[in-house]
């Protein structure tokens, strides 16, 4: 195998591993959108809050206890958002709900930094970062860990929404709010459960990305990195979030590694959005997104 082909294969594999973690971030958006029809601008800040809380607790108490404490915090947060923010806005236009999530995003970022400080922190999960040589390709064990954890959570969520009674009820809410209410599915309860699941996703994403790049305010900008994933996969599709993350992870790695040196680098920062624009021009609803036809 030629060195160029081997290098491209290495870039693809490492990109796919990182792509699963992109999928995890995008999944938080998909869950909220499917349940309430609104783009949750606060998902990135939920991830930042979870990572900052975990980084603060893990230096004082064991990791597993820290995870339980942060889980309790995120579940309380989910209930508070449902009761204080969403409850008064039931049946309001999606734009109103979107603006409300912007307010929640700024509140969460201020709350996290007000309690735990503004200094960047490292997040140690008890695993040293090592690189393995696999058939001439170098793969980080942190990438493998992130991909395995993200993959397990993604599979569990797909099973939950496909096989459980609660998951099917949440899918019914996403299809038609009025019809779900008509057959006795409580909308507020569905929203609360969905926000709680999104909070759990934020914990896992915050732990993985915090251990990878550190815990700082810029971690909230993961929300922007999830946008091309959502555009490519479809904002209302869980399989789309998974596939979109894999495509973005592999594509940005290949572009940076193969094209970047010829143009001075930096392609990784904008290539996902360029790819998303191309997909948007061909398939406006994404690869798995549901096309909505409105009669006027």
Give me the pLDDT at residue 136, please.
Answer: 65
Q: Is residue 71 part of a domain?
A: yes
pLDDT tens digits along 184-231: 666 677 778 888 888 888 888 888 888 877 788 777 777 778 889 988
Residue 80 belongs to some domain of the structure:
yes
To 5 degrees, how large is the angle CA 135–CA 20–CA 222? 125
Distance CA 124, CA 211 (A): 6
Answer whether residue 101 is part of any domain: yes
pLDDT, residue 70, reads: 92
Alpha-carbon gap, residue 275 to 264, rounded angstroms = 20
264 assigned to some structural domain:
no
pLDDT at 240: 87
Residue 175 structural domain: 19-216
In a domain, 94, yes or no: yes
* pLDDT of 72: 93
* Residue 128 falls inside a structural domain: yes
Evaluate whether residue 296 is within a structural domain.
no
pLDDT tens, residue order, the chain (296 aa): 567 787 888 888 888 888 888 888 888 888 788 777 778 888 888 888 998 999 889 888 888 899 999 999 999 988 888 788 877 876 677 788 888 888 988 898 888 888 888 788 888 777 666 777 666 667 777 777 778 888 888 788 878 877 888 777 777 766 666 666 666 666 677 778 888 888 888 888 888 888 877 788 777 777 778 889 988 988 888 888 888 988 998 998 888 888 888 877 778 888 889 999 999 888 888 888 766 655 54
Mean per-residue pLDDT over the chain, rounded: 81
140, burial (CB in 10 Å: exposed 0-12, middle 13-18, buried 19+): middle
On whether the CB atoms of residues 235 and 39 are closer than 8 A, the answer is: yes
- How many domains, in total, are found in the chain? 1
- Residue 132 falls within a domain, yes or no? yes
């Amino acid at each position: 195998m030629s060195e160029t082909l081997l290098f491209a294969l290495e870039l693809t594999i490492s990109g796919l591993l990182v792509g699963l973690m992109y999928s995890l971030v995008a999944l938080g958006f998909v869950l909220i959108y499917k349940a309430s029809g609104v783009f949750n601008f606060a998902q990135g800040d939920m991830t930042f809050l979870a990572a900052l809380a975990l980084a603060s607790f893990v230096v004082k108490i064991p990791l597993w206890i820290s995870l339980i404490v942060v889980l309790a915090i995120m579940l309380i947060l989910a209930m508070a958002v449902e009761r204080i923010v969403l409850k008064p806005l039931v049946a309001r236009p999606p734009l109103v709900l979107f603006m409300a999530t912007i307010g929640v995003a700024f509140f969460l970022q201020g709350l996290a930094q007000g309690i735990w400080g503004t200094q960047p922190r490292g997040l140690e999960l008890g695993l040293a970062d090592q690189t393995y040589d696999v058939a001439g390709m170098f793969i980080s064990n942190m990438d493998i860990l992130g991909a395995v954890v993200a993959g397990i959570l993604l599979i569990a969520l797909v099973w939950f929404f496909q096989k459980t009674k609660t998951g099917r009820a949440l899918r019914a809410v996403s299809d038609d709010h009025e019809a779900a209410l008509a057959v006795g599915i409580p909308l507020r309860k569905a929203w609360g459960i969905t926000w709680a699941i999104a909070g759990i996703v934020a914990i896992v994403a915050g732990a993985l990305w915090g251990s990878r790049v550190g815990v700082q305010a810029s971690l909230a900008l993961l929300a922007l990195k999830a946008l091309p994933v959502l555009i490519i996969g479809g904002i209302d599709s869980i399989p789309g979030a998974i596939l979109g993350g894999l495509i973005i992870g592999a594509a940005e790695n290949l572009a940076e590694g193969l094209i970047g040196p010829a143009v001075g680098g930096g392609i990784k920062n904008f290539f996902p959005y360029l790819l998303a624009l191309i997909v948007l021009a061909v398939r406006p609803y994404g690869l798995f997104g549901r096309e909505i036809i409105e009669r006027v």
